[in-house]
Amino acid sequence: MRYDADFYLLQGARNYALDLWRSFRIWREFRKGFVKLRHVEKCVTFFGSARFSEDHKYYKLAYDMAFKLGQEGYAIMSGGGPGIMEAANRGAKDAGALSIGCNIRLPEEQKPNPYQDISLHFDHFFVRKVMLLKYSQAFVLLPGGFGTMDEIFETATLMQTKKIYDFPVVVMGGKYWRELGTFLDKAMLELGTIDEHDLDFIKMTDDLQEAFDIIHSPRPRGLI
C-alpha cells in the first residue's frame, strides 16, 4: 500500500516529532485550499456517490440541477471524482459557470473528473471537507454511500450546533432517502436525540425549480 496520510496520522502516539511534521503538512494543505478558493463566491456544493454512470437517473438529476444553478450564476463545487461529483461539475461547465473539484488521494486513486476549472487534491479527508463546506452557501445532497452519509451528518451537526448558519440543504432522489427519513422521525425524534427544529433546514424535492427557489432565497452567510 502506498503512503496514505490519514492512515499514518491516525496510528496513535507513535512519534511526536513526526506528528509535528504532519501538522505542518496539514497547514500547507489548508493554505493551498485557502489560496486557490479565496475568490469563490455564491457557490453550491454537491454531495453524492461516485458509483453512478452517466446514464443513471441520479447522475442526470445532479447534472440538471447543477446546470440550472450554473445558468443562474452559481459556482458549483464537488468532491472532484466520478458519479454525482462528475455530473455536478459537468453541469456547471456546460452552463458556463465556475466548476470546482476537491479531490482526495486514496490508496486506490480516485480519478478526478475532467469538468473542473479549479481542481484541488488533498491527502486528508478532514481538510477536504472543510473546503467543501467553507466556500458554499447551500448544499445539494443526492444518493450516496458511507462518504455521502458522513458529509450529510457532519453538515447537519454543524448547523445544529450553530457552527454554520441557515444554509439551505436540498435533498434530491427522494425514494432513496425514504428509510433514512423514517429513522429520523421514528427513532431519533421519538427518543429525543434530536429536536424537531433540527430538521427544519433540510428540504426534500426532486423538482428543479423548487430546489432552486430554496437555495436562492435570501439567508445570512454567517457571522464573519
Read off the pLDDT of residues 18-64 as tens digits, 9 standing for 90 and up: 889 989 999 999 999 999 999 999 999 999 999 999 999 999 999 99
191, 192, 197, 201: CA torsion to nearest 10: -60
* pLDDT in the model for residue 3: 58
- Whose cell is 445539494? That residue is 140
Question: What is the pLDDT at residue 224?
Answer: 36
If one counts the domains in the chain, the total is 1
In a domain, 198, yes or no: yes
Per the structure, the complete domain to which residue 78 belongs is given by: 39-216
- pLDDT, residue 191, reads 92
How much is the pLDDT for 223?
38
- pLDDT attached to residue 186: 86
Let me know if 121 is exposed, middle or buried by CB neighbors in 10 A (0-12, 13-18, 19+).
middle
Which pLDDT score is estimated for 201? 80
User: Minimal CA–CA distance to 139: which of 73, 198, 196, 65?
Assistant: 65
In a domain, 32, yes or no: no
Does residue 17 lie in a domain region? no
Answer whether residue 200 is part of any domain.
yes
Asked if residue 131 is part of any domain, the answer here is yes
Residue 101 is assigned to a structural domain of this protein: yes
Residue 142 inside a domain? The answer is: yes
The domain that holds 83 is classified in CATH as: 3.40.50.450
CA angle 183, 184, 186 (to 5 degrees): 60
pLDDT value, residue 166: 72
State if pTM tops 0.85.
Answer: yes
Structural domain contains residue 19: no
Residues of the chain with pLDDT under 50: 1, 220-224
The DSSP H or E segment spanning 34 is helix 16-36
